[in-house]
Structure 1
């Protein structure tokens, strides 16, 4: 039951936000071996003065805070981050130096919706 939160200095249309959420959900379900129904995505547009990254170059900045269920191997998290970065770079011309992802892992029962409570991840 991940919550994928983007903070970005991009100015996106409603259609672009929807396309980004759909693309990231697809990447997440592929790389994390799960289904899409429980993936939550938020996109927050920020003024360029709001986001700072020491190595940043000219261009938009994007941070991804990925709140996920614990247990996935490093390789899955890294693949998800790299595929997401590639999509952001290709679609919105975000320079590699201007992207950062942080994963926070939670026990499954700390992630819930009205109709379910997450369990422990039992994949590879």
Structure 2
């Protein structure tokens, strides 16, 4: 049950946010070999003064993804997902590569829960 939290200074309409969230869920499912119904996406717009990356061009928008995921995903899966998400953001809003960052935080399965279930440890092709 990942929570993918985006902070960005790119201007987005509500429709663009919904479309971006759908595409992010699809990319997560594709790269992590899972489903989409349990993937939470949060998009927070920030002003230019609220979001910065040291190496970033201050005149261009930034994007930071804090990906809270269950532990056990292979590095290659995380890296391919991160690159795909940054590519998506670049295509959608022309965010330059130096202006993007992805940080993964891994949790035990039981640390991530909804009303109807508690996550489990990764074991093959499961969808939570």
- With the length of structure 1 as denominator, give the TM-score of the two structures: 0.97
| Structure 2 residue aligned with 1:55 | 55
State how far apart, in whole Å, the 1-side matches of 2:73 and 2:123 are: 9
Moved over 2 A (4+): none
Tell me the number of residue pairs that the alignment of Structure 1 and Structure 2 aligns. Answer: 124
Deviation digits for residues 37-80 of structure 1 (CA, Å, limit 9, x no counterpart): 10000000001001111110131100000000000010000000
Q: Mark the runs of 5 or more structure 2 residues left unpaired by the alignment.
A: none
| Structure 1 residue aligned with 2:3 | 3
State how far apart, in whole Å, the 1-side matches of 2:98 and 2:85 are: 14
Which residues of 2 match residues 1-124 of structure 1 at below 5 A? 1-57=1-57, 58-123=59-124
SS at match of 1:72: coil
State how far apart, in whole Å, the 2-side matches of 1:17 and 1:98 are: 19
Give the alignment's Cα RMSD to 1 decimal: 1.0
Alpha-carbon shift at residue 15 of structure 1 (Å): 0.3
